[in-house]
Amino acid sequence: MTPIRVGLLGIGTVGSGTFNVLRRNQTEITRRAGRGIEITMVADLDTARAKAVVGDSARVVADAREVIANPDIDIVVELIGGYGMARTLVLEAIAAGKHVVTANKALLAVHGTEIFAAARDKGVVVAFEAAVAGGIPIIKALREGLTANRIQWIAGIINGTTNFILSEMRAKGLDFGVVLKQAQELGYAEADPTFDIEGVDAAHKLTLMSAIAFGIPVQFDSAHVEGISKLQAADITYAEHLGYRIKLLGITKRTSAGIELRVHPTLVPAKRLIANVEGAMNAVVVHGDAVGSTLYYGKGAGSEPTASAVIADLVDITRLHTADPRHRVPHLAFQHDALSATPILPMDATVTAYYLRLQVTDEAGVLARIAGILAENRISIDALLQRPNDGGAVESAEARTDVIILTHDTVEGGMNRAITQMQALPTVLAPIVRIRKEELS
Protein backbone atom coordinates (compact mmCIF):
# COMPACT_ATOMS: atom_id res chain seq x y z
CA MET A 1 0.00 0.00 0.00
CA THR A 2 1.27 3.51 -0.75
CA PRO A 3 2.40 5.52 2.28
CA ILE A 4 0.01 8.06 3.77
CA ARG A 5 1.27 11.57 2.98
CA VAL A 6 1.68 14.19 5.65
CA GLY A 7 2.21 17.95 5.37
CA LEU A 8 3.69 19.84 8.31
CA LEU A 9 2.73 23.42 9.02
CA GLY A 10 5.68 24.65 11.06
CA ILE A 11 8.92 22.77 11.67
CA GLY A 12 10.27 24.17 14.92
CA THR A 13 10.98 22.07 17.99
CA VAL A 14 8.01 19.68 17.73
CA GLY A 15 8.02 19.54 13.92
CA SER A 16 11.67 18.56 13.70
CA GLY A 17 11.15 15.99 16.47
CA THR A 18 8.25 14.54 14.50
CA PHE A 19 10.34 14.34 11.35
CA ASN A 20 13.29 12.71 13.15
CA VAL A 21 11.28 10.15 15.13
CA LEU A 22 9.23 9.17 12.07
CA ARG A 23 12.39 8.62 10.07
CA ARG A 24 14.22 6.77 12.85
CA ASN A 25 11.32 4.44 13.71
CA GLN A 26 9.77 4.19 10.24
CA THR A 27 9.97 0.37 10.05
CA GLU A 28 8.42 -0.14 13.47
CA ILE A 29 5.76 2.49 12.83
CA THR A 30 4.85 0.97 9.46
CA ARG A 31 4.48 -2.46 11.06
CA ARG A 32 2.03 -0.90 13.50
CA ALA A 33 0.13 1.38 11.13
CA GLY A 34 -0.18 -1.09 8.27
CA ARG A 35 1.34 1.35 5.79
CA GLY A 36 4.12 3.90 5.70
CA ILE A 37 3.72 7.46 6.98
CA GLU A 38 5.78 10.02 5.09
CA ILE A 39 6.21 13.74 5.56
CA THR A 40 6.25 14.85 1.95
CA MET A 41 5.73 18.58 2.36
CA VAL A 42 6.66 21.20 4.95
CA ALA A 43 5.58 24.83 5.21
CA ASP A 44 7.66 27.18 7.33
CA LEU A 45 8.44 30.87 6.95
CA ASP A 46 12.06 29.95 7.67
CA THR A 47 12.56 27.74 4.62
CA ALA A 48 16.32 27.47 5.20
CA ARG A 49 15.76 26.01 8.67
CA ALA A 50 13.12 23.66 7.29
CA LYS A 51 15.44 22.45 4.52
CA ALA A 52 18.21 21.88 7.07
CA VAL A 53 15.88 19.48 8.91
CA VAL A 54 14.25 17.58 6.04
CA GLY A 55 16.93 17.76 3.32
CA ASP A 56 15.60 16.47 0.00
CA SER A 57 13.05 14.13 1.52
CA ALA A 58 10.19 16.67 1.52
CA ARG A 59 9.17 19.72 -0.47
CA VAL A 60 9.66 22.90 1.54
CA VAL A 61 7.47 25.96 0.96
CA ALA A 62 6.93 29.21 2.83
CA ASP A 63 3.15 29.30 2.31
CA ALA A 64 1.06 26.92 4.43
CA ARG A 65 -1.80 27.18 1.93
CA GLU A 66 0.30 25.35 -0.67
CA VAL A 67 0.30 22.32 1.64
CA ILE A 68 -3.44 22.56 2.23
CA ALA A 69 -4.13 22.90 -1.51
CA ASN A 70 -1.98 19.90 -2.45
CA PRO A 71 -4.36 17.01 -3.31
CA ASP A 72 -1.63 14.47 -2.52
CA ILE A 73 -1.53 15.42 1.16
CA ASP A 74 -3.78 13.25 3.37
CA ILE A 75 -3.00 14.69 6.82
CA VAL A 76 -2.05 18.23 7.82
CA VAL A 77 -0.08 18.62 11.05
CA GLU A 78 -0.56 22.10 12.54
CA LEU A 79 2.39 23.13 14.71
CA ILE A 80 2.14 26.89 14.33
CA GLY A 81 0.41 27.64 17.64
CA GLY A 82 -1.82 30.50 18.73
CA TYR A 83 -5.46 31.27 17.94
CA GLY A 84 -5.15 33.47 14.83
CA MET A 85 -3.57 32.08 11.68
CA ALA A 86 -3.65 28.54 13.12
CA ARG A 87 -7.46 28.65 13.36
CA THR A 88 -7.82 29.85 9.77
CA LEU A 89 -5.45 27.22 8.43
CA VAL A 90 -6.97 24.37 10.42
CA LEU A 91 -10.45 25.29 9.17
CA GLU A 92 -9.14 25.55 5.60
CA ALA A 93 -7.42 22.16 5.87
CA ILE A 94 -10.67 20.61 7.14
CA ALA A 95 -12.61 22.28 4.32
CA ALA A 96 -10.11 20.76 1.87
CA GLY A 97 -10.94 17.32 3.32
CA LYS A 98 -7.65 16.80 5.17
CA HIS A 99 -7.35 15.12 8.53
CA VAL A 100 -5.66 17.43 11.03
CA VAL A 101 -3.24 16.66 13.84
CA THR A 102 -2.48 19.54 16.18
CA ALA A 103 -0.54 20.24 19.37
CA ASN A 104 -2.42 23.51 19.77
CA LYS A 105 -4.24 23.45 23.12
CA ALA A 106 -5.05 27.17 23.02
CA LEU A 107 -6.78 26.83 19.66
CA LEU A 108 -8.92 23.85 20.67
CA ALA A 109 -9.75 25.11 24.17
CA VAL A 110 -11.10 28.33 22.69
CA HIS A 111 -12.35 27.33 19.21
CA GLY A 112 -12.78 23.57 19.67
CA THR A 113 -16.56 23.55 19.25
CA GLU A 114 -16.32 25.24 15.85
CA ILE A 115 -13.38 23.13 14.70
CA PHE A 116 -14.83 19.77 15.76
CA ALA A 117 -18.16 20.62 14.12
CA ALA A 118 -16.40 21.51 10.86
CA ALA A 119 -14.42 18.26 11.00
CA ARG A 120 -17.57 16.21 11.62
CA ASP A 121 -19.31 17.82 8.65
CA LYS A 122 -16.38 16.91 6.42
CA GLY A 123 -15.93 13.42 7.89
CA VAL A 124 -12.32 14.10 8.89
CA VAL A 125 -10.42 13.66 12.12
CA VAL A 126 -8.93 16.41 14.29
CA ALA A 127 -6.50 14.64 16.60
CA PHE A 128 -4.81 16.40 19.51
CA GLU A 129 -2.95 14.00 21.80
CA ALA A 130 0.07 16.34 21.75
CA ALA A 131 -2.01 19.27 23.00
CA VAL A 132 -2.30 17.94 26.56
CA ALA A 133 0.66 16.89 28.70
CA GLY A 134 3.03 16.43 25.74
CA GLY A 135 4.18 12.83 25.53
CA ILE A 136 1.74 11.42 28.11
CA PRO A 137 -1.07 9.60 26.25
CA ILE A 138 -3.75 11.12 28.47
CA ILE A 139 -6.25 11.84 25.70
CA LYS A 140 -6.10 8.21 24.62
CA ALA A 141 -6.49 7.08 28.23
CA LEU A 142 -9.50 9.32 28.85
CA ARG A 143 -11.23 8.69 25.54
CA GLU A 144 -10.61 4.98 25.23
CA GLY A 145 -8.83 3.26 28.13
CA LEU A 146 -11.23 4.63 30.76
CA THR A 147 -14.34 4.58 28.62
CA ALA A 148 -16.18 2.23 30.98
CA ASN A 149 -15.99 4.72 33.83
CA ARG A 150 -18.07 7.55 35.11
CA ILE A 151 -15.14 9.87 35.67
CA GLN A 152 -15.40 11.76 38.94
CA TRP A 153 -12.38 14.04 38.95
CA ILE A 154 -9.09 14.84 37.31
CA ALA A 155 -6.19 16.65 38.95
CA GLY A 156 -3.06 17.36 36.96
CA ILE A 157 0.31 19.03 36.95
CA ILE A 158 0.04 20.01 33.31
CA ASN A 159 2.53 22.83 33.01
CA GLY A 160 6.19 21.92 33.29
CA THR A 161 7.50 25.48 33.56
CA THR A 162 5.53 26.23 36.71
CA ASN A 163 6.29 22.84 38.24
CA PHE A 164 9.98 23.48 37.66
CA ILE A 165 9.68 26.89 39.36
CA LEU A 166 7.75 25.49 42.34
CA SER A 167 10.24 22.63 42.74
CA GLU A 168 13.16 25.07 42.80
CA MET A 169 11.37 27.42 45.21
CA ARG A 170 10.79 24.54 47.62
CA ALA A 171 14.19 22.90 47.31
CA LYS A 172 16.20 26.11 47.59
CA GLY A 173 13.88 28.36 49.60
CA LEU A 174 14.01 30.96 46.81
CA ASP A 175 11.40 33.56 45.87
CA PHE A 176 9.33 33.27 42.70
CA GLY A 177 11.06 36.12 40.82
CA VAL A 178 14.55 34.68 41.37
CA VAL A 179 13.59 31.22 40.13
CA LEU A 180 11.66 32.57 37.14
CA LYS A 181 14.79 34.43 36.03
CA GLN A 182 16.86 31.25 36.37
CA ALA A 183 14.23 29.26 34.46
CA GLN A 184 14.40 31.78 31.62
CA GLU A 185 18.19 31.64 31.55
CA LEU A 186 18.03 27.83 31.38
CA GLY A 187 15.48 27.98 28.55
CA TYR A 188 12.69 26.34 30.60
CA ALA A 189 10.53 29.46 30.61
CA GLU A 190 9.65 31.56 27.58
CA ALA A 191 10.87 35.16 27.26
CA ASP A 192 7.19 36.06 27.81
CA PRO A 193 6.17 33.44 30.36
CA THR A 194 2.68 34.85 31.06
CA PHE A 195 0.65 31.90 29.70
CA ASP A 196 2.67 29.46 31.77
CA ILE A 197 3.05 31.30 35.07
CA GLU A 198 -0.47 32.74 35.14
CA GLY A 199 -2.05 29.30 34.62
CA VAL A 200 -3.48 29.93 31.13
CA ASP A 201 -1.60 27.10 29.43
CA ALA A 202 -2.71 24.68 32.16
CA ALA A 203 -6.31 25.91 31.85
CA HIS A 204 -6.30 25.27 28.09
CA LYS A 205 -5.21 21.67 28.70
CA LEU A 206 -7.63 21.20 31.59
CA THR A 207 -10.52 22.48 29.48
CA LEU A 208 -9.85 19.76 26.91
CA MET A 209 -9.56 17.02 29.53
CA SER A 210 -12.74 18.18 31.23
CA ALA A 211 -14.72 18.07 27.99
CA ILE A 212 -13.56 14.53 27.28
CA ALA A 213 -14.05 13.32 30.83
CA PHE A 214 -17.58 14.63 31.29
CA GLY A 215 -18.95 14.83 27.76
CA ILE A 216 -19.40 18.61 27.72
CA PRO A 217 -18.40 21.19 25.11
CA VAL A 218 -15.00 22.90 25.51
CA GLN A 219 -15.55 26.01 27.65
CA PHE A 220 -12.27 27.76 28.37
CA ASP A 221 -14.12 31.00 29.15
CA SER A 222 -15.70 29.38 32.21
CA ALA A 223 -12.44 28.14 33.71
CA HIS A 224 -11.05 29.74 36.87
CA VAL A 225 -7.43 30.58 36.08
CA GLU A 226 -4.89 31.50 38.72
CA GLY A 227 -1.11 31.19 38.41
CA ILE A 228 1.88 31.07 40.74
CA SER A 229 3.34 34.56 40.37
CA LYS A 230 2.05 35.72 43.77
CA LEU A 231 3.21 32.66 45.71
CA GLN A 232 5.57 33.44 48.57
CA ALA A 233 8.44 31.23 49.73
CA ALA A 234 7.10 31.44 53.33
CA ASP A 235 3.90 29.61 52.36
CA ILE A 236 5.81 26.81 50.66
CA THR A 237 7.78 26.38 53.89
CA TYR A 238 4.70 26.48 56.14
CA ALA A 239 2.92 24.01 53.88
CA GLU A 240 5.87 21.66 54.22
CA HIS A 241 5.73 21.92 58.04
CA LEU A 242 2.08 20.87 57.83
CA GLY A 243 2.85 17.87 55.56
CA TYR A 244 1.87 19.43 52.22
CA ARG A 245 3.50 20.51 48.95
CA ILE A 246 2.19 23.35 46.82
CA LYS A 247 1.56 22.46 43.17
CA LEU A 248 -0.13 24.33 40.35
CA LEU A 249 -3.00 21.92 39.73
CA GLY A 250 -5.62 21.83 37.06
CA ILE A 251 -8.69 20.35 38.75
CA THR A 252 -11.97 19.36 37.17
CA LYS A 253 -14.65 17.62 39.22
CA ARG A 254 -18.17 16.37 38.73
CA THR A 255 -20.48 17.51 41.55
CA SER A 256 -24.25 17.28 41.95
CA ALA A 257 -24.55 21.00 41.08
CA GLY A 258 -22.27 21.07 38.04
CA ILE A 259 -18.66 20.79 36.99
CA GLU A 260 -15.71 22.48 38.64
CA LEU A 261 -13.02 23.69 36.25
CA ARG A 262 -10.16 25.45 37.97
CA VAL A 263 -6.41 26.03 37.85
CA HIS A 264 -4.69 27.41 40.94
CA PRO A 265 -1.84 26.73 43.36
CA THR A 266 -2.95 23.87 45.60
CA LEU A 267 -1.70 22.25 48.80
CA VAL A 268 -1.47 18.50 48.23
CA PRO A 269 -0.49 15.99 50.96
CA ALA A 270 3.25 15.32 50.58
CA LYS A 271 2.59 11.58 50.71
CA ARG A 272 0.60 11.59 47.44
CA LEU A 273 2.56 10.46 44.37
CA ILE A 274 1.55 13.59 42.47
CA ALA A 275 3.02 15.80 45.21
CA ASN A 276 6.40 14.23 44.44
CA VAL A 277 6.41 15.09 40.75
CA GLU A 278 9.33 17.49 40.49
CA GLY A 279 11.03 19.64 37.88
CA ALA A 280 9.47 20.09 34.46
CA MET A 281 7.61 16.76 34.57
CA ASN A 282 3.83 16.47 34.16
CA ALA A 283 1.41 14.10 35.91
CA VAL A 284 -2.34 13.60 35.79
CA VAL A 285 -4.52 11.69 38.25
CA VAL A 286 -7.87 10.51 36.89
CA HIS A 287 -10.46 9.10 39.27
CA GLY A 288 -13.11 6.86 37.73
CA ASP A 289 -15.91 5.10 39.57
CA ALA A 290 -14.86 1.63 38.41
CA VAL A 291 -11.10 1.89 38.19
CA GLY A 292 -10.46 4.23 41.16
CA SER A 293 -7.48 6.56 40.85
CA THR A 294 -5.01 6.15 38.00
CA LEU A 295 -1.84 8.21 37.53
CA TYR A 296 -0.12 9.19 34.29
CA TYR A 297 3.39 10.64 34.46
CA GLY A 298 5.93 11.81 31.93
CA LYS A 299 7.40 14.65 29.94
CA GLY A 300 4.85 17.32 29.15
CA ALA A 301 6.91 19.16 26.56
CA GLY A 302 10.01 18.88 24.41
CA SER A 303 10.81 17.87 20.88
CA GLU A 304 10.60 14.08 20.85
CA PRO A 305 8.18 13.60 23.76
CA THR A 306 5.64 15.80 21.97
CA ALA A 307 6.52 14.18 18.63
CA SER A 308 5.67 10.84 20.25
CA ALA A 309 2.09 12.08 20.72
CA VAL A 310 1.87 13.65 17.25
CA ILE A 311 2.98 10.38 15.62
CA ALA A 312 0.55 8.34 17.73
CA ASP A 313 -2.21 10.46 16.19
CA LEU A 314 -0.76 9.96 12.70
CA VAL A 315 -0.81 6.19 13.23
CA ASP A 316 -4.40 6.30 14.54
CA ILE A 317 -5.54 8.23 11.48
CA THR A 318 -3.60 5.95 9.14
CA ARG A 319 -5.29 2.88 10.61
CA LEU A 320 -8.75 4.49 10.36
CA HIS A 321 -8.25 6.42 7.15
CA THR A 322 -10.68 4.35 5.15
CA ALA A 323 -13.08 3.59 8.03
CA ASP A 324 -16.62 4.93 8.05
CA PRO A 325 -16.40 8.25 10.02
CA ARG A 326 -19.35 7.14 12.19
CA HIS A 327 -17.23 4.33 13.57
CA ARG A 328 -14.32 6.50 14.66
CA VAL A 329 -13.73 7.48 18.28
CA PRO A 330 -15.60 10.80 18.70
CA HIS A 331 -13.40 13.89 19.07
CA LEU A 332 -14.61 14.51 22.62
CA ALA A 333 -15.06 10.83 23.54
CA PHE A 334 -18.87 11.11 23.73
CA GLN A 335 -21.04 11.05 20.59
CA HIS A 336 -21.47 14.68 19.52
CA ASP A 337 -25.26 14.54 19.87
CA ALA A 338 -24.88 13.15 23.39
CA LEU A 339 -22.86 16.00 24.87
CA SER A 340 -24.39 17.31 28.06
CA ALA A 341 -25.28 20.87 29.06
CA THR A 342 -24.12 20.36 32.66
CA PRO A 343 -22.95 23.82 33.72
CA ILE A 344 -19.44 24.78 34.75
CA LEU A 345 -19.83 26.07 38.29
CA PRO A 346 -18.82 29.64 39.15
CA MET A 347 -15.82 29.70 41.49
CA ASP A 348 -18.02 30.94 44.36
CA ALA A 349 -19.87 27.61 44.30
CA THR A 350 -16.72 25.47 44.33
CA VAL A 351 -16.14 23.29 47.37
CA THR A 352 -12.57 22.85 48.60
CA ALA A 353 -10.41 23.16 51.71
CA TYR A 354 -8.10 26.10 52.41
CA TYR A 355 -4.75 27.13 53.79
CA LEU A 356 -4.88 30.64 55.23
CA ARG A 357 -2.00 32.72 56.54
CA LEU A 358 -2.80 35.81 58.56
CA GLN A 359 -0.19 38.19 59.91
CA VAL A 360 -1.71 39.45 63.16
CA THR A 361 -0.82 41.38 66.31
CA ASP A 362 0.15 38.94 69.02
CA GLU A 363 -2.35 39.83 71.75
CA ALA A 364 -5.24 38.33 73.66
CA GLY A 365 -8.48 37.71 71.77
CA VAL A 366 -7.11 37.98 68.22
CA LEU A 367 -7.36 34.28 67.47
CA ALA A 368 -10.80 34.06 69.09
CA ARG A 369 -12.12 36.80 66.80
CA ILE A 370 -10.72 35.06 63.70
CA ALA A 371 -12.15 31.69 64.78
CA GLY A 372 -15.47 33.46 65.38
CA ILE A 373 -15.61 34.84 61.84
CA LEU A 374 -14.82 31.42 60.39
CA ALA A 375 -17.54 29.84 62.52
CA GLU A 376 -20.09 32.49 61.50
CA ASN A 377 -19.39 31.54 57.88
CA ARG A 378 -19.74 27.83 58.69
CA ILE A 379 -16.06 27.15 58.07
CA SER A 380 -14.58 24.39 60.18
CA ILE A 381 -10.90 24.54 61.24
CA ASP A 382 -8.84 21.41 60.62
CA ALA A 383 -5.41 22.51 61.94
CA LEU A 384 -3.74 25.62 63.25
CA LEU A 385 -0.12 26.72 63.50
CA GLN A 386 1.32 29.89 64.98
CA ARG A 387 4.85 31.08 64.23
CA PRO A 388 6.63 34.33 65.09
CA ASN A 389 6.90 36.64 62.10
CA ASP A 390 10.30 38.28 62.13
CA GLY A 391 10.07 40.24 58.93
CA GLY A 392 7.55 41.10 56.29
CA ALA A 393 5.61 43.96 54.94
CA VAL A 394 4.58 45.76 58.07
CA GLU A 395 6.79 48.33 59.77
CA SER A 396 5.65 48.30 63.37
CA ALA A 397 6.94 48.05 66.90
CA GLU A 398 4.08 45.77 68.00
CA ALA A 399 4.57 42.01 68.39
CA ARG A 400 3.16 40.17 65.41
CA THR A 401 2.80 36.59 64.47
CA ASP A 402 1.82 34.41 61.52
CA VAL A 403 -1.31 32.36 62.11
CA ILE A 404 -1.72 29.51 59.65
CA ILE A 405 -5.09 27.81 59.46
CA LEU A 406 -6.10 24.72 57.52
CA THR A 407 -9.83 24.35 57.03
CA HIS A 408 -12.10 21.48 56.14
CA ASP A 409 -13.97 21.58 52.83
CA THR A 410 -16.21 24.61 52.51
CA VAL A 411 -17.91 26.66 49.81
CA GLU A 412 -15.65 29.30 48.22
CA GLY A 413 -18.32 32.03 48.48
CA GLY A 414 -18.37 31.66 52.29
CA MET A 415 -14.60 31.71 52.42
CA ASN A 416 -14.52 34.92 50.37
CA ARG A 417 -16.90 36.54 52.86
CA ALA A 418 -14.85 35.35 55.82
CA ILE A 419 -11.62 36.67 54.30
CA THR A 420 -13.19 40.08 53.70
CA GLN A 421 -14.38 40.21 57.33
CA MET A 422 -11.05 39.04 58.76
CA GLN A 423 -9.11 41.44 56.55
CA ALA A 424 -11.11 44.34 58.01
CA LEU A 425 -9.94 43.58 61.57
CA PRO A 426 -7.39 46.16 62.80
CA THR A 427 -5.36 43.31 64.25
CA VAL A 428 -4.81 41.73 60.80
CA LEU A 429 -1.69 43.49 59.58
CA ALA A 430 -1.14 42.30 55.99
CA PRO A 431 -3.12 40.86 53.08
CA ILE A 432 -4.39 37.40 54.02
CA VAL A 433 -2.82 34.60 52.01
CA ARG A 434 -5.34 32.01 50.78
CA ILE A 435 -4.29 28.83 48.99
CA ARG A 436 -6.73 26.04 48.20
CA LYS A 437 -6.05 22.53 49.49
CA GLU A 438 -7.05 19.17 48.05
CA GLU A 439 -6.56 15.81 49.72
CA LEU A 440 -6.95 13.89 46.41
CA SER A 441 -7.91 10.76 48.31
User: What's the rounded Cα separation, in Å, for the pair 202 and 280?
Assistant: 13
User: Would you say 60 or 200 has its CB closer to ligand HSE?
Assistant: 200
User: Would you say 195 or 214 has its CB closer to ligand HSE?
Assistant: 195
Measured from the CB of residue 334, what is the shortest distance to ligand HSE in angstroms? 25
User: Would you say 196 or 313 has its CB closer to ligand HSE?
Assistant: 196
Q: Which of 54, 68, 180, 301 binds ligand HSE (CB under 6 A)?
A: 301
CA 371 vs CA 148, 207, 245, 364, 427: distances in Å: 45, 37, 25, 13, 13
User: What's the rounded Cα separation, in Å, for the pair 7 and 69?
Assistant: 11
Over the chain, what HEC string results? CCCEEEEEECCCHHHHHHHHHHHHCHHHHHHHHCCCEEEEEEECCCHHHHHHHHCCCCEEECCHHHHHHCCCCCEEEECCCCCCHHHHHHHHHHHCCCEEEECCHHHHHHHHHHHHHHHHHHCCCEECHHHCCCCCCHHHHHHHHCCCCCEEEEEEECCHHHHHHHHHHHHHCCCHHHHHHHHHHCCCCCCCCHHHHCCHHHHHHHHHHHHHHHCCCCCHHHCEECCCCCCCHHHHHHHHHCCEEEEEEEEEEECCCCEEEEEEEEEEECCCHHHHCCCCEEEEEEEECCCEEEEEEEECCCHHHHHHHHHHHHHHHHHHCCCCHHHCCCCCCCCHHHCCCCCECCHHHCEEEEEEEEEEECCCCHHHHHHHHHHHCCCCEEEEEEEECCCCCCCCCCCEEEEEEEECCEEHHHHHHHHHHHHCCCCECCCCEEEEECCCC
Measured from the CB of residue 158, what is the shortest distance to ligand HSE in angstroms? 7
Measured from the CB of residue 250, what is the shortest distance to ligand HSE in angstroms? 11
User: Would you say 111 or 254 has its CB closer to ligand HSE?
Assistant: 111
User: Would you say 201 or 412 has its CB closer to ligand HSE?
Assistant: 201
CA 140 vs CA 132, 313, 401: distances in Å: 11, 10, 50
Measured from the CB of residue 159, what is the shortest distance to ligand HSE in angstroms? 4
Measured from the CB of residue 253, what is the shortest distance to ligand HSE in angstroms? 22
Q: Report if residue 305 touches ligand HSE, rule: CB under 6 A.
A: no
Residues 306-365 that bind ligand HSE (CB under 6 A): none
By CB under 6 A, the count of residues binding ligand HSE is 7
Binding-site string for ligand HSE from residue 99 to residue 138, where x marks contact by CB under 6 A and - marks none:
----------------------------------------
Q: Report if residue 300 touches ligand HSE, rule: CB under 6 A.
A: yes
Q: Which residues carry out catalysis?
A: 205
Residues 40-69 that bind ligand HSE (CB under 6 A): none
User: Would you say 127 or 301 has its CB closer to ligand HSE?
Assistant: 301
Measured from the CB of residue 263, what is the shortest distance to ligand HSE in angstroms? 13
* Window contacting ligand HSE (CB under 6 A); options: 147-155, 156-164, 226-234, 425-433: 156-164
Residues 191-230 that bind ligand HSE (CB under 6 A): 196, 201
* Window contacting ligand HSE (CB under 6 A); options: 56-64, 76-84, 154-162, 366-374: 154-162
Binding-site string for ligand HSE from residue 7 to residue 26, where x marks contact by CB under 6 A and - marks none:
--------------------
Q: Report if residue 298 touches ligand HSE, rule: CB under 6 A.
A: no
User: Would you say 13 or 30 has its CB closer to ligand HSE?
Assistant: 13
Measured from the CB of residue 134, what is the shortest distance to ligand HSE in angstroms? 7
Binding-site string for ligand HSE from residue 157 to residue 186, where x marks contact by CB under 6 A and - marks none:
--xxx-------------------------
Binding site for ligand HSE (CB under 6 A): 159-161, 196, 201, 300-301
